[in-house]
Structure 1
């Protein structure tokens, strides 16, 4: 019984080995047959009009990518110059104000009393000065007549000079007190719009506490940090094309100022660009774009259309052969790379030589195509 079981197990193992060998041989035979089958060769491709463009001469601007923050040329943080309770605050965020307009008042009671005290002290000092002056005038006459000594006259002169100095000091103290009283009233230093209200009515504030922020949106500029190496080629007057907060429209800006030194921490050099049309823009927006460093008029194609999977760069074009259109490869020499400011939202362009104007160039998004491949269009081709 044991021998019969043993032979049964051996038979099962042998059958399993035979089945595995058979499956391996069948798989290998299928692979050979697939490899021997003729490969399917693509002979035709259909392109949309958006997949091609017409090569032409363009003004290419060699640019420097920049980004920065929009800031108002006139921006002020209005702080409390004296301590006290806010008795009146007349504006809120978004309110337009004019230069000299009263924005807030701090309780002036204490400062009024100090000014009155200083005025009274100045009057008392003036009275003492006048008494000392009359005494000196009398003593001058008595010395001339020989009734008193020169020493007594000199003493009266010293008393007058001391009283005069005390009067001047009292007047200065009154001026300081008056300034503190004036500082209790906060006025707009220029015309603009309230950007922030940081204090409320009845709040007690200390000296230098922030009360309001004021911006003038009529003049805006972009503050852009550049690396020291990039800043060397930047000049005042160069024009940039900027996109604000990913909006579809672009605005022009011109370099107005360049910082003469790099910042200590980041080693960045700050460049300031004045916006040509600040209408509708806001302080604090993020801006990015290209700063034009030079311009060249060249035969240009999109940078992605130039392929580099061969020994020499080339572009794929569509040319007419008989009654059909076919893909052809044109070897080119690559030149300057930059931006077409007429289409700032497009990808970078590159100047090429070896390509005639008017040729239909296949864009890079299509990918690599075999030379001689037949081409048809999803709609009639228009240049």
Structure 2
């Protein structure tokens, strides 16, 4: 047989054999990939470990030093200030003249009232003489009883007009005295709101006077911290001018209503051991330390997740896998949430990125600088 005729057949058989071998090899590779899938990646998470122990929280509020008793001083009449005798920081004594108004108008009004009293007195005297004359004529039956009654009524009206004139004179004389502003107590002038030559209205603030040596700090407290301030014990007061010295404070008064503008409550803290160095209008800080008295555990608000409608957190188990655990929220605090049930000391809680996690995920804890553990409260 001719060899040239058999060569193409041999080549075709060899090519077919190679193709079958390649198909089998590819099939084997496919079955190997299906039977051994790639391992799931380990996710990095930020977590904190709950530790047992007491928990205290200290908050500081800035305020200003005031006297316990202080009030604005004002004239009781309108007028132009002719003299101002004191200024801010001056010590005054009870009865000391602080400022005076131009007395011209008040003096003229008083003089007019005196003239009105004199006129009313004259009219009363005439009415009395007339009544006595008619009474004598009535005794001799020369006038009627009605005429006597008219004379009596005229005398009573004159007496009433005289009393009214005398009362008006008293008012005008008081206004003359009101033109002089005097201190009612020994104290210190804290504010000055008017100058000589200024026209002021009745009741307009001219000075502020503090007449008590007892010092206190006025602070503004948000409504969520009112209960903590009311239940706390002794407070710590620090003056900005003396940061190394600490004073003991006591809550004396807490406003029952919030300020309509700032929505904060005014608290007055008495400085128990205040000395002469504690001056009015100085800046001060009040430290309020609250200690937890229950078993609630505070967590950052970012750690809270939800399992349907139930609050939950992600717990990292001993095998470094995630477990979703429902919890009970006792209250919401400034730092986050307080958990009463569901979390125990030693649990590792994921505190960030909780909405991207799934139960059973393998995780690796990433430590952040300055990260602190969650404390049981």
What is the TM-score when the length of structure 2 is the normalising length?
A: 0.56
Is the Cα–Cα contact under 8 Å of residues 193 and 214 in structure 1 kept in the other structure? yes
The alpha-carbon distance between structure 1 residues 175 and 237, as it changes in their structure 2 partners (threshold 3 A), is farther
Equivalent residue number for residue 136 of structure 1: 131
Q: How does 1:238-317 map to 2 (within 5 A)?
A: 238-245=233-240, 247-278=243-274, 279-293=276-290
CA distance in structure 2 between the aligned counterparts of 1:93 and 1:262, rounded to whole angstroms: 30
| Distance in 1 separating the partners of 2:58 and 2:138 | 88
Compared CA separation, residues 62 and 165, structure 1 to 2 (3 A) = same
CA apart distance, 1:169: 1.6
Closer, same or farther: CA 287–138 of 1 in aligned 2, 3 Å: same
Matched, 1:206 2:200: yes
Aligned 8 A contact 2:110 2:173 in 1:
yes
Shift of 1:210: 4.2
2:182 aligned residue (179, 184, 187): 187
> How far is the alpha carbon of 1:79 from its aligned partner?
2.8
Which residue is 1:102 aligned to?
97
| Cα separation, partners in 2 of 1:143 and 1:121, compared to 1, 3 Å | same
Report SS of the residue matched to 2:188.
strand
**Structure 1 contact 225–270 (Cα < 8 Å) conserved:** yes
- Counterpart residue number, 2:67: 72
**SS at 2:124 equivalent:** helix
SS in 1 for 2:244: coil
- In structure 2, do the counterparts of structure 1 residues 62 and 133 end up closer, same or farther at CA, with 3 Å as the change threshold? farther
Shift of the 185–221 alpha-carbon distance from structure 1 to 2, 3 Å rule, reads same
- Gap runs ≥5 in structure 1: 1-58, 297-309, 313-352, 355-365, 369-383
Partner residue, 1:170 = 165
Structure 2 unaligned spans of 5+: 1-53, 294-314, 318-344, 347-368, 372-377
2:113 maps to 1:118: yes
> How far 1:66 sits from its partner (Å)?
3.2
Give SS of 2:68's match.
strand
Do the aligned partners of 1:80 and 1:205 also contact (CA within 8 Å) in 2?
no
CA contact (8 A) 1:236 1:256 kept: no
Q: Scaled by the length of structure 1, what TM-score is found? A: 0.55
Q: Is the 8 A contact 1:236 1:255 kept in 2?
A: no
Q: CA RMSD in A?
A: 3.4
1:93 corresponding residue in structure 2: 88
Residues 1:233 and 1:144: Cα distance change in structure 2 (over 3 Å): farther
1:218 positional shift:
1.0
Three-state SS of the structure 1 residue aligned to 2:230 is: coil
1:236 and 1:282, CA in 2 relative to 1: closer, same or farther beyond 3 A?
A: farther
Alignment length, in residue pairs? 246
In the TM superposition, residue 186 of structure 1 has moved relative to its aligned partner by 0.9
Residues 146 and 291 of structure 1: CA distance in aligned 2, closer, same or farther (over 3 Å)? farther
